[in-house]
Amino acid sequence: MSVTAAKGFTAAGIAAGIKENGNPDLALVVNNGPRRAAAGVFTSNRVKAAPVLWSEQVLKSGQLSAVVLNSGGANACTGPKGFQDTHATAEKAAEVLGVGAGEIAVCSTGLIGVLLPMDKLLPGVETAAAQLSEHGGEKAAIAIKTTDTVHKTSVVTRDGWTVGGMAKGAGMLAPGLATMLVVLTTDADLDSGSLDRALRAATRVTFDRVDSDGCMSTNDTVLLLASGASGTTPEHEEFAEAVRAVCDDLGQQLIRDAEGASKDIKVEVVGAATEDDAVEVGRSIARNNLLKCAIHGEDPNWGRVLSAIGTTRAAFEPDRLNVAINGVWVCKNGGVGEDREKVDMRYREVHIVADLAAGSETATIWTNDLTADYVHENSAYSS
Amino acid sequence: MSVTAAKGFTAAGIAAGIKENGNPDLALVVNNGPRRAAAGVFTSNRVKAAPVLWSEQVLKSGQLSAVVLNSGGANACTGPKGFQDTHATAEKAAEVLGVGAGEIAVCSTGLIGVLLPMDKLLPGVETAAAQLSEHGGEKAAIAIKTTDTVHKTSVVTRDGWTVGGMAKGAGMLAPGLATMLVVLTTDADLDSGSLDRALRAATRVTFDRVDSDGCMSTNDTVLLLASGASGTTPEHEEFAEAVRAVCDDLGQQLIRDAEGASKDIKVEVVGAATEDDAVEVGRSIARNNLLKCAIHGEDPNWGRVLSAIGTTRAAFEPDRLNVAINGVWVCKNGGVGEDREKVDMRYREVHIVADLAAGSETATIWTNDLTADYVHENSAYSS
């Protein structure tokens, strides 16, 4: 049900001809109110795509009537013309929906450095508007796919209100693999300040800790729109938990569909002096190409875990580090622990626990293995 | 001629049986004086192998009589027993050479977390000592190979004095791919302070800017030994230039032999406000897996270069960035530049210039593409 699970929303997904292969490439999500509160979180890459610059700007009002999303082109590094194209897209959507362009967010994903075919995109917005439906969430989720093999949606329903959403890509806000676009909707009756708090708290521990390949996109965007159509105003904690649950679910789906991956790796850092230390160590492990290759080869090479920990500024003593892989403590006190032959790595999920023995803080980062398929997919992507 | 090109040095390389396949795995380099000055630079990984901890300690005196190097095992993350093994290795070399153990540096490379077979290593030191020769430099260079397909040596001769050396691995001090071990020798008559200054200045702009896969080893070591046997004391600048030339040559050889690579990528950052900015941007580009895959696919995907620049803290404006790939300015002012079809990427060397348009500082980082062969080699390494 995706972005139309919550009351007050309609959506559509169509093939506008932006993608040369004729696959769906344009999605429209409309908030029919009564409220039109919104919040957003964007890539921390300093090279931001035109749609990110635009959407950051319009979000300042805390109000959104609709989101236009296209796959088939990122509209990044496209100069003033690229920004004009984003602006024209918002104007077109505003015109057909009878609202102001300043209430329209725009998201794009695809190749960087290529202008969008506006002669196809603008008519596509009209076509999509004509197909808006309370059952259109699924089609919208399909239309934003790029290298995704499946579309990703998630819904959580609580007492009288719902949070739903869709996602594409495999990555995170900072950093990200390919572009991650996420639109979340809710019929809870909340203002933009509440949405913003819940969204930031959720992304910080979900999408932000999904680190498939350490590369940060120019286009990553997560939006949360509230219609108030349920007439219910949940407690902040309850709402924040629901948003986090949807983000967590979508984040897991992104990892499971990461380009070329054969393993999903849960890197859990425990015993850290601070949460920041835990996140830094988790990212360092998650980004270590040598370790990611070893996991691909089903090799519990804990030395590469220690080597990755050693590059961080986190508080730890080398001879107190412990590492478990799939439940076997293969490294104890910085040296050889239990027999590595005991580690069973046949399954897709691999669980690494790194114990810094320096405190009680923890963090979990999700990543993938590094495979020949990843290389193949990303060496053939634009040519 | 390697480490025996300079007068006053003998070396040997033998198969001690540390490697199960019977390949050479133990090298010995001896400084016969009259001087025995030395300097060293080590990995900045906080998880340091036993031989690194030992060699850092003995180097404090500024004196070395010999270096024992083994491949077939890194002796990293091996606890107190690992350190005892390094100590025993130094003691054995000291005994057969008739010097103190505090004048013996030890270097190890291979798998982390495995104890060395001391019953083979210690007799190997005796065997190597018996084969020491003024022509042994080549054999020593061969004995330190792990996944290297060729051994690496370099020699520079100036007016009456020589700097020579050997290297293994493909990587750098901080960070490094697999372990990099380098031993340099000179017959110039210099004290350890002069050696230290020249070595640090050289490694900072050579090995330290070779970033094949962004992973930092627990064992990286670069040593410089001076025998004084030429009776000549060169000017500091002249000597420093010679050391830099040898390091640069060995660094290039490391990149050209990097695991699984099909392209050598020269990332030249120009127009930076500071040298630190240039290095940070160069490293960010050099470590971007998506870009490395694109280069492997001979795809001049400059969007991934901009995306990598955007993750840094360097001074720049996104709409002033320029990028050239193999001489074609495919990105101008942050947007589309010359026709990417003009870029010829058929050859092994690829030259990326990133112009930050923010100053006049520059730096060059060397890296490799990311290939299926890299994945294969590193997923099958220890099992």
CA distance linking residue B201 with residue B68, whole number of Å:
25
pLDDT computed for residue A375 by the predictor? 84
Is A179 annotated as catalytic?
A: yes
CA nearest neighbour of B73 among B107, B41, B108, B106: B108
Does the pTM exceed 0.95? no
| E-only strand ranges, A169-226 | 181-186, 221-226
pLDDT computed for residue A111 by the predictor? 86
- What is the distance between the terminal CA atoms of chain B, rounded to a whole angstrom? 35
Residues of chain B with CATH 3.60.70.12: 2-256
Q: How far is CA B226 from the centre of its chain?
A: 19
User: Known binder of ligand: residue A259?
Assistant: yes
CA distance linking residue A287 with residue B284, whole number of Å:
13
Residue A142 neighbours by CB under 8 Å, 6+ apart = A13, A24, A151
pLDDT computed for residue A378 by the predictor? 77
Mean pLDDT confidence for A103-116 = 93
A248-252, A302-306, B12-16, B171-175: which has the minimum mean pLDDT? B171-175
Q: Please report, for residues A192, A285, B65, B185, B251, the alpha-carbon distance to residue B37 in angstroms, rounded to integers and kept in the order given.
A: 69, 39, 8, 10, 24
Higher model confidence: residue B152 or residue B258? B152
Higher model confidence: residue A131 or residue B177? A131
> In chain A, what's the furthest Cα-to-Cα distance?
67
Q: Does A297 touch chain B (CB under 8 A)?
A: yes
Q: A289: part of which helix (H) or strand (E)?
A: helix A289-296
User: Known binder of ligand: residue A168?
Assistant: yes
Q: Does A287 touch chain B (CB under 8 A)?
A: yes
Mean pLDDT confidence for A307-322 = 94
pLDDT computed for residue B230 by the predictor? 98
Q: Is it the case that residue B306 has pLDDT exceeding 80?
A: yes
pLDDT computed for residue B381 by the predictor? 55
Copy the structure tokens of residue B43: 């990995």
Question: What ipTM was estimated for this complex?
Answer: 0.84
- Tell the CATH superfamily of the B2-256 domain: L-amino peptidase D-ALA esterase/amidase (3.60.70.12)
- Amino acid found at B313: R
pLDDT computed for residue A276 by the predictor? 96
| Full DSSP string of B276-337 | HHHHHHHHHHHT-HHHHHHHHTT---HHHHHHHHTTS--S--GGG-EEEETTEEEEETTEE-
| Full DSSP string of A299-326 | ---HHHHHHHHTTS--S--GGG-EEEET
Mean pLDDT confidence for B252-277 = 92
Mean pLDDT confidence for A91-100 = 98
Mean pLDDT confidence for B199-217 = 86
- Amino acid found at A344: D
* Chain B: residue whose CA lies nearest to A322: B77
Q: Do the chains contact at B113 and A302, CB–CB below 8 Å?
A: yes
Q: Is it the case that residue A380 has pLDDT exceeding 90?
A: no
CA distance linking residue A67 with residue A94, whole number of Å:
10
pLDDT computed for residue B178 by the predictor? 55
CA distance linking residue A370 with residue A363, whole number of Å:
22
Q: What is the CA radius of gyration of chain B?
A: 21
pLDDT band, very low/low/confident/very high, at A23 (cuts 50, 70, 90): very high
pLDDT computed for residue B218 by the predictor? 87
A146-155, A183-192, A318-327, B210-219: which has the minimum mean pLDDT? B210-219
DSSP B2: G
Q: Other C-beta atoms within 10 Å of A130: how many?
A: 11
3-state class (DSSP) for residue B120 = helix
Catalytic residue among A109, A153, A179, A367: A179
The answer to whether residues B226 and B186 touch, using CB atoms and an 8 Å cutoff, is yes
| E-only strand ranges, chain B | 9-14, 26-31, 37-42, 66-71, 104-109, 152-157, 162-168, 181-186, 221-226, 264-272, 322-325, 328-332, 335-336, 349-355, 361-368
pLDDT band, very low/low/confident/very high, at A172 (cuts 50, 70, 90): very low
Q: Please calculate the CA angle B114-B119-B121 and round it to the nearest 5 degrees.
A: 75
Q: What is the CA radius of gyration of chain A?
A: 21
pLDDT digits (tens, 9 = 90+) for A184-228: 999 999 999 999 999 999 999 999 888 877 777 889 999 999 999
CA distance linking residue B143 with residue B273, whole number of Å:
44
Copy the structure tokens of residue B167: 């290297």
* Chain A: residue whose CA lies nearest to B337: A113
Q: Do the chains contact at A309 and B177, CB–CB below 8 Å?
A: no
The answer to whether residues A165 and A184 touch, using CB atoms and an 8 Å cutoff, is yes
Please list, residue by residue across A298-330, b when 16 or more beta carbons sit within 10 angstroms of its beta carbon and e when fewer do: bbbbbbbbbbbbbbbebebebeebbbbbbebeb
CA distance linking residue A316 with residue A354, whole number of Å:
11
Q: Does B110 touch chain A (CB under 8 A)?
A: no
Which residue's structure tokens are 């004290």? B191
pLDDT computed for residue A97 by the predictor? 98
User: Known binder of ligand: residue A263?
Assistant: no
User: Known binder of ligand: residue A162?
Assistant: no
pLDDT digits (tens, 9 = 90+) for B316-347: 999 999 999 999 999 999 999 999 999 999 99
User: Which of A284, A289, A313, A329 would best serve as a mutation to test chain B binding (most B beta carbons within 10 A)?
Assistant: A289
Q: Other C-beta atoms within 10 Å of B80: how many?
A: 11
The answer to whether residues A147 and A377 touch, using CB atoms and an 8 Å cutoff, is yes
pLDDT computed for residue A327 by the predictor? 97
For domain A264-379, the CATH architecture is: Roll (3.10)
Q: Is it the case that residue A174 has pLDDT exceeding 50?
A: no
Q: Is it the case that residue B383 has pLDDT exceeding 70?
A: no
Q: Is it the case that residue A168 has pLDDT exceeding 70?
A: yes
| A 37-96 residues with CB < 8 A to B | 45-48, 74, 76-79, 81-82
CA distance A45 to chain B (A): 5
Residues of chain B with CATH 3.10.20.340: 264-379
Q: Other C-beta atoms within 10 Å of B276: how many?
A: 13
The answer to whether residues B202 and B45 touch, using CB atoms and an 8 Å cutoff, is no
Q: Is it the case that residue A175 has pLDDT exceeding 60?
A: no
pLDDT computed for residue B212 by the predictor? 76
CA nearest neighbour of B218 among B112, B322, B347: B112
Copy the structure tokens of residue B293: 């895959």
Whether a cis peptide bond, with omega within 30° of 0, leads into A175 is: yes
CA nearest neighbour of B370 among B324, B301, B307, B323: B301
The answer to whether residues B159 and B133 touch, using CB atoms and an 8 Å cutoff, is no
